[in-house]
Amino acid sequence: MTEPVQKQANGVTVHSPRLLRGVQVVLVVLFALTLPAGAVAVFGADADRASTADTVALVFFGLLVAILTTPWWPIGPTGRSRFARIQSMCFIWFGITYATHLSWELIWLLFHEQIGASPDQAWAYPWWMYIDGGDARYATAGATLVTQEFLSVLNGLVGATGLVIWWRSKGRSALSVLLLMSTAVVHIYSTTLYFGSEVLDGYPNVDTSSFADFWIKFWLLNGLWLAMPWLVLYWGYRTLTRERGLLVAS
């Protein structure tokens, strides 16, 4: 007999972890399919290119926020501490950001010239959905942006290494925490440079007249890489100094 969605414990309803995990899996699958679905809509169903990109951006951002906040949803196991929920949120973030670095950004880094030269190709549309209005710098691939993306890919490798060490040590390695915290520092630096260089130049590469392009694609989506690192640093500090007390040095 399978585990029930809910069970009674001393008269208190306790939610099964399976319900939350199931919801998270569904959200992650939808999240992963968003960009390919946009390409299929435009090149397979002749949908409008601009409106499809705007819709994909809204859905993509909504799913991203939904996935990140699932540890706080009332369908999860009850009795979890605030710190435990923050830790779950951070590890969801690790999965999202490192996967982004080692997929979307890595492929762009390796093939940015081909992507920039292929605005009307279905295979390149997952990048052009962002380039169109969101940031034209990804079409021209200047030296600063290429360097930033190289740093992001390297950051993803460092973070993935930190996760492997964390899992192998069963969450008892100070080194893994320090590696994960270091990626947060790089995110803060890189995202600040990304925003600052465009803002100070007067938004020459962003369509400021479009709500989806300006607020969703450029500010909100990228802004998560400026906001979430602070939560990661808080988690890391608590883990090292209070929750685990540097139980393992490496």
pLDDT tens, per residue, the chain with 250 residues: 344 444 454 444 556 678 889 999 999 999 999 999 999 999 999 999 999 999 999 999 999 999 999 999 998 777 889 999 999 999 999 999 999 999 999 999 999 999 999 999 999 999 999 999 999 999 999 999 999 999 999 999 999 999 999 999 999 999 999 999 999 999 999 999 999 999 999 999 999 999 999 999 999 999 999 999 999 999 999 999 875 555 444 4
Is position 98 within any domain?
Answer: yes
Strand, helix or coil for residue 198:
helix
Nearest one of 59, 219, 65, 90 to 166, comparing CA atoms: 90
What residues make up the domain containing 44? 6-243
> Has residue 224 been placed in a domain?
yes
CB 96 within 8 A of CB 16: no
Cβ atoms 83, 69 nearer than 8 A:
no
Burial (CB < 10 A; 0-12, 13-18, 19+), residue 225, is: buried
249 is a domain residue = no
Among candidate residues 119, 134, 129, the one with its CA nearest the CA of residue 56? 129
In a domain, 210, yes or no: yes
Q: Return the closest-CA partner of residue 64 out of 238, 236, 227.
A: 227
Q: How far apart are the C-alpha atoms of 215 and 204, rounded to whole Å?
A: 15
In a domain, 55, yes or no: yes
> Within a domain: residue 43?
yes
Instruction: Convert the pLDDT of each residue in 133-142 to its tens digit.
Output: 999 999 999 9
In degrees, to the nearest 5, what angle opens at C-alpha 110 toward C-alphas 109 and 112? 65
Is residue 115 exposed (0-12), middle (13-18) or buried (19+ Cβ within 10 Å)? buried
Q: Does residue 1 lie in a domain region?
A: no
Q: How many distinct structural domains can be found in the chain? A: 1
Amino acid residing at 113 = E
Is 148 inside a domain boundary? yes
Entry pTM: 0.90
